[in-house]
Amino acid sequence: IVRAQAQYRMYRQRRSYLRNREEIRRRLDEQKANRWKQENKEKVEREHKERQAQMMAGVANLEIPGDLALVYSKIDDWEQQHGGHHIITALGDVVSIDMGYKLPVDINSHVFSKYTSVYFKNPNW
What is the H or E stretch that residue 32 is in? helix 2-60
CA of 113: how far to CAs of 11, 69, 110, 116, 119, in Å? 107, 58, 8, 5, 10
**Are the C-beta atoms of residues 122 and 107 closer than 8 Å to each other?**
no
The pLDDT of residue 43: 96
Higher pLDDT, 111 or 46: 46
Per residue in 39-80, pLDDT tens? 999 999 999 999 888 877 766 667 778 888 888 888 888 777
Does 120 have pLDDT greater than 80?
A: no
Q: Is the pLDDT of residue 7 over 70?
A: yes
Q: Where are the domains of the chain?
A: 1-75
The whole-number pLDDT of residue 60 equals 64
Torsion sign, CA atoms 44, 45, 51, 54: negative
pLDDT at 106 (0 to 100)? 76
